[in-house]
Structure 1
């Protein structure tokens, strides 16, 4: 019975509401970089497009085919990334990973919405799906900045 209660907590109303309303859903017409990430364990995929101006994300799009947890994480990412620098996105990625795997604190603003995923700490098999969107965003941002330097 305890495991059932834990799963109910994991798929809270807040997570399901986020999963149903993902900001910046869809692809960009002319991105500076595109990255597709897949979780081998569950098969979830996220494709992220970014456009970058003056070192900040100016446009963002994502195609999300993931479980409710991956969708909720994509919603938090999508709601926070516009105007962010690579360092801010990378910090959010690292903080989310630490929150999930090392009982680290909730990521800093504007990524504090990841707090809703704290109950997933105990479900290691869900971590990869949760990290997909922010990892793809960091990688896409890195690629966009590299192509600017070339």
Structure 2
């Protein structure tokens, strides 16, 4: 079963890390660490006038499973809203902990990690990138004052 977990598909996703690095001037930054294994994700985002992810960078130091999740996330995250990221996180948690089907839509690729459900010690490392992304987006939204959001929306 462990060989299936580290399939060629998972290893391929782990090797392809879209948007690796950091943003020079992020609107928000999220950092998550899986305490059990030390997997860590640092995510920077900037948002457009509508609150969608406009720019994204991730610095992920994780096992193959955490890197695979970050690879899928990085390939799909540009243009996502906070609601889409939240829904993906909730669907991932349900998939890992309660037999759920997994994320739909732009983040459906995360379903490739369904077998991780059988390995609870790997859940946290699989979640670090999406959790850090959600934190970064929420921070970026909080930094936009209501006055700024109104004036930006009027300019569009």
TM range (shorter): over 0.9
Partners of 2:39 and 2:61 within 8 A in 1? yes
Report the equivalent of 1:25.
20
Partner of 2:97: 101
| RMSD of aligned Cα (Å) | 0.8
User: How many residue pairs end up in the alignment?
Assistant: 145
> Which residue in 1 is equivalent to 2:35?
40
1:11-49 per-position Cα deviation (integer Å, ceiling 9, x unaligned): 000000010011111111110011111000000000000
* Structure 2 unpaired stretches of 5+: 147-156
Q: Give the CA deviation at 1:105.
A: 1.1
Which of 84, 88, 97 matches 1:88?
84
Partner of residue 16 from structure 1, selected from 11, 19, 22 = 11
Alpha-carbon deviation of 1:109?
Answer: 1.1
How far 1:149 moved relative to its partner? 2.4
What TM-score results when the alignment is normalised by the length of structure 2? Answer: 0.91
Q: Name the TM-score, length of structure 1 as normaliser.
A: 0.95
Residue segments in structure 1 that go unaligned for 5+ positions in a row: 1-5
- Matched with 2:71 is 75
